[in-house]
Copies of this chain bind each other. A is one copy, B any other.
Amino acid sequence: MKQAEIKLAETTINSKKVYSGSLIHAFKDKVRLPDGRQSVREWIDHPGASAVLPVFGNGEVQLIRQFRYPLKQTFLEVPAGKIDEGEEPLVTAKRELEEESGIRAKSWAPLGKFHPCIGYTNEVIYLYVAWDLEVAESKTDQDEFVAQVKMPFANAVEKVLRGSISDGKTITTIFRAANWWKKNKPFPVSNL
């Protein structure tokens, strides 16, 4: 694999910030290709994010429904959000779970990370499953509108398989969480 890394790698000749917004920071870099020629790569800088599937004692999971402006439709999602500067990904997951769904969890397991969009962003999303839940009150950001949706864990898996859950981070979180749960079984969940 070392050999493959060397032969495929592109190196930066120079990097220029071409757009700096409140969310999106875009760069246009001149790069050296593996064969020595030059090319241009455009990419979005992202601070990373954390996402979590919260599982209740009765085997239900907490999802949320949000309107996503780029696609002009609502999506079923796991609670998730951007990592603040210097924040540990687990701290982000705990903060977002409480902000978006008003839930505090006593038990957490990491499900690794994944890369949602490798072609043009450097975003990494850290995934978790959480249980031993305590419900307080949600306190979403001023311009976030979120509907709470509970369903049996097995139904969420079924929705991922059927495609009615189509958000990448939610697919990957539920898929990994179901696999983790079957192996580790903190408590039994029906039909999983």
Contacts and interface: CB of A to CB of B under 8 A. Distances in A.
A86 interface: no
A21 B10 contact: no
Interface in A36-57: 37, 39-44
B18 A70 contact: no
Given A69-B10, A70-B120, A75 B29 contact: no
Interface stretch (A94-102, A129-137, A171-179): A171-179
Contacts of A192: none
A85 interface: no
A162 B122 CA distance: 21
20 contacts: A4-B65, A8-B65, A23-B42, A23-B120, A29-B69, A33-B143, A39-B143, A44-B120, A68-B118, A70-B118, A70-B122, A71-B118, A71-B124, A111-B163, A115-B166, A116-B168, A161-B179, A171-B172, A171-B175, A172-B172
Interface of A: 1, 4-5, 7-10, 18-19, 21-24, 26, 28-29, 31, 33-35, 37, 39-44, 65-71, 73-75, 77, 111-124, 143, 145-147, 160-161, 163, 166-169, 171-172, 175-176, 179
Contact of A26 (B21, B114, B115, B172): B21
B112 A163 contact: yes
A24 B37 CA distance: 22
B114 A123 contact: no
Copies of this protein chain in the complex: 2
A43 to B, nearest CB: 4
Nearest to A125: B168
A114 B22 contact: no
Contact of A74 (B4, B23, B43, B160): B4
A35 to B, nearest CB: 8
Given A26-B24, A175-B175, A71 B115 contact: yes
